[in-house]
């Protein structure tokens, strides 16, 4: 896994982290029609009100799609339970997709659950930083490239798993449409 963001990230308030995360998503989804991104939205469902860190809505071929975004400004790895809570919100609200963005890495159970339930996991990592990767079964091995985000301090890495059960990662950037494809599918 990628090393969690260093101490400089903790200078960000939780609200600043949420806004930065939504800025990263805004860059990734700017080609979507009638795109609306809201921060700290209260969504009413039949079973109550839900506070959502970020809410994305867009139109595709006349259909409006909703994506819920949860941001975790944590030092410890994200466990499966956090992903399950987001999945429950998606079901209650009737959203189509979910995205969980974190400063820390994700436990393997969280990655597996998210992959099976159509939830994108994004780990923010410091742009242009050196990091070490361990090559072990079930551990993401980073390429030799350094995360780059056009002068911004942090870069996003889309975490997932493939059909063989191996973990995958994809740096988010201006030329990478992996997140946009995920939201549309």
Q: Tell me, what DSSP letter sits at residue 11?
A: G
Q: What is the pLDDT of residues 147-177, one digit of tens each?
A: 444 445 455 666 666 666 656 666 666 666 6
Strand partners, 72: 102
Higher pLDDT, 83 or 62: 83
Q: Domain segments of the chain: what residues?
A: 7-184
- Pick the closest to residue 149 from 177, 120, 125, 132 (CA basis): 125
Instruction: Please report, for residues 8, 19, 67, 69, 182, the alpha-carbon distance to residue 98 in angstroms, rounded to integers and kept in the order given.
Output: 27, 17, 5, 6, 10
Query: Given this structure, which CATH class describes domain 7-184?
Result: alpha beta
Q: What is the pLDDT of residues 88-111, one digit of tens each?
A: 999 999 999 999 999 888 898 999
Rounded mean pLDDT, 67-93: 95
Q: What is the pLDDT of residues 19-73, one digit of tens each?
A: 988 988 888 888 888 899 999 999 999 999 999 999 999 988 888 999 999 999 8
What is the structure's pLDDT at 114?
92
What is the structure's pLDDT at 113?
94
Q: What is the pLDDT of residues 109-144, one digit of tens each?
A: 999 899 899 899 988 776 555 444 444 444 444 444
Cα 120 versus chain centre, distance: 5
Rounded mean pLDDT, 4-22: 74
């Amino acid at each position: 896994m990628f090393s969690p963001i260093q101490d400089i990230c903790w200078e960000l308030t939780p609200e600043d982290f949420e806004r930065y995360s939504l800025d990263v998503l805004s860059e990734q989804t700017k080609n979507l029609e009638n795109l609306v991104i809201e921060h700290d939205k209260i969504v009413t469902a039949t079973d109550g009100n839900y506070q959502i860190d970020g809410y994305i809505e867009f139109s595709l071929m006349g259909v409006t799609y909703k994506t819920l975004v949860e941001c975790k400004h944590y030092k410890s790895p994200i466990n499966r339970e956090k992903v399950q809570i987001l999945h429950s919100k998606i079901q209650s609200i009737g959203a189509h997709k979910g995205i969980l963005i974190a400063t820390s890495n994700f436990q393997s159970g969280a990655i597996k659950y998210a992959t099976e339930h159509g939830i994108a996991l994004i780990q923010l990592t410091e742009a242009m930083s050196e990091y070490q990767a361990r090559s072990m079964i079930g551990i993401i091995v980073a390429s030799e490239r350094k995360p780059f985000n056009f002068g911004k301090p942090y870069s996003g890495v889309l975490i997932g798993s493939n059909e063989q059960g191996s973990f995958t990662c994809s740096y988010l950037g201006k030329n990478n449409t992996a997140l946009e494809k995920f939201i549309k599918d």
